[in-house]
Structure 1
């Protein structure tokens, strides 16, 4: 039997004390800001690399929260998250909004998702917690923004995107109306799908963080929880019914309700597509078609319309449980 890999001394020190944990979280959380600033005056290439590193560390913040939760327990992780939120509030000039987002989106959500891994079917529970929390966070953000700006939700999102596309319009050479029309159409499309796309992108990033944290804890032998393969991901019938309801809203409602229905359908449909992709991966793996697995992911990356069949597969899998009928589907 292979001996567990010992946790490095520095990591052990940082991950077993509240203040060092909170300080490390705060450094990672703010790295997208301070790291590029630190490289000001350096060659452009180094600035770009530092920006990429800073963004990567920022996105990996939920993974650290999950590792702390798995290793130290919910109470310990809760203290660390609270200290980090206080630190973020102070560093942002006493911005309560920054502290609240740090506490909830970057702290409590990955904490709850990681804690749910200890339960039966923890993988499924963890994915649903993240989807629910992030979906509600995006909905609340655009709704509060619309109320604050005394506008509709779509109008608020349009205002958010306006500076980017106004600059793009200014870059269009005079006398090229076709190019200006393309920019305008792109703006309309992005406004139409932005909240749903943001929610879905956050879910993929946060879910990847939870899986990464679980793998890290397994490697260093301090993981005790659901050992299910991530390819067993399933969201259950409530998500399927929610998707169908959002499709009804998207087609029959009007105004903000229709806009919310469209974007909720995008996010929930993306979750079902993830389940459908897991089904496809299991089936191809069972058939020994390893090259086809790579081709499947490549096609999804190159051709976004390919996601539609996987949404349908994921939706049908909720009722028919295709993976249960696939021999050797664990891989």
Structure 2
């Protein structure tokens, strides 16, 4: 007898009320966005509790795209856009009529997860959704960096260096020369890759939010669209060719353009690595090597050089489609 899909659960009445009405949903979205200010709104003397409030506020803020994606799955593009627009207006008002805060809310926390969720419901949704988030994150980071550098009347790399300077300003002057040199090298390394790390962090967080929202939408029975596993993530040949082109440009261009091209190459390498990880995860899962899956992610977390083999696997998978012959790949 064929196994039947689990029956969707009934959504709690209060959750159903909030998610199906624009104003309550926008209010929850606004509260989640403002949660990062919890330590200021609720001042506490205990450092541990203050740290806990800060972490809770940041977590709620970073989970906002999941709420927007969930609303998109249930209410559609237009309904979700209305919710995001109301929340952006509220943020603009609360921030003292800061248009920047309102625009960031509308585009980054609103439109980007809406596009990601809408794409995920379509054919080849996993790939299209991941690409939309990557393009949106990259464009917003690029525009933000260029505008910030222009305001400071400096280069992009120099602005990043100034941004990170306070982190290293309090180093004790009595530190041994070897350690001081090591910290300086670390600072230069951080400056060199900071834009790429920002984009990749945004991509992983925002796309992960979309995947989480899809899980809950399926659980409560209001998801309609592609049922493909997140482990089927794969990019097209255009990304591979772009990666090769950027690697060639790194050897030709100079100045700020070199800085931006190098970081763009790192971002695309990160996307290819994500595809390589999906290939490895699918293979290990098909072999029943659950412990090895956890070990793989642990090694990626503690040893940055581990990303290189996955970049190669992801790049090769674009042409050879390794998961095609893996039983129940990503199932």
Shared fold (TM-score greater than 0.5)?
Answer: yes
2:233 maps to: 233
Structure 1: gaps spanning 5 or more residues: none
Shift of 1:286: 2.0
2:246 maps to: 246
1:160 maps to: 163
Q: Aligned equivalents of 2:141 and 2:208: distance in 1?
A: 19
Report if the CA contact (8 A) 1:249-1:257 is conserved: no
Shift of 1:173: 4.2
Q: Aligned equivalents of 1:244 and 1:30: distance in 2?
A: 41
Q: Aligned equivalents of 1:118 and 1:176: distance in 2?
A: 57
Report if the CA contact (8 A) 1:39-1:46 is conserved: no
Shift of 1:330: 3.1
2:10 maps to: 6
Q: Aligned equivalents of 1:149 and 1:104: distance in 2?
A: 24
Number of matched pairs: 327
Shift of 1:41: 2.6
2:319 maps to: 319
Runs of at least 4 residues off by over 3 Å: none
Shift of 1:188: 0.6
Structure 2: gaps spanning 5 or more residues: none
1:94 maps to: 97
Q: TM-score normalised to the size of structure 2?
A: 0.96
Does 134-143 or 290-299 show the bigger shift? Answer: 290-299
- SS of the residue corresponding to residue 94 of structure 1 reads coil
Q: Aligned equivalents of 1:13 and 1:327: distance in 2?
A: 42
Q: TM-score normalised to the size of structure 1?
A: 0.96
2:307 maps to: 307
Matched, 1:69 2:72: yes
Q: Aligned equivalents of 1:87 and 1:81: distance in 2?
A: 10
Deviation per residue, 1:80-123 (Å, 9 max, x gap): 11111111111111111111111101100000110112211111
Q: Aligned equivalents of 2:65 and 2:186: distance in 1?
A: 32
Shift of 1:175: 5.5
Cα pair distance change 1:292/1:41, threshold 3 Å: closer
Q: Aligned equivalents of 1:92 and 1:190: distance in 2?
A: 31
Report if the CA contact (8 A) 1:67-1:217 is conserved: yes
Q: Aligned equivalents of 2:118 and 2:151: distance in 1?
A: 35
- SS of the residue corresponding to residue 251 of structure 2 reads helix
Equivalent runs, 1:1-331 vs 2, <5 Å:
2-33=6-37, 35-167=38-170, 169=171, 172-174=172-174, 176-331=176-331
Cα pair distance change 1:175/1:36, threshold 3 Å: closer
Alignment RMSD (CA, Å): 1.3
- SS of the residue corresponding to residue 123 of structure 2 reads coil
- SS of the residue corresponding to residue 330 of structure 1 reads coil
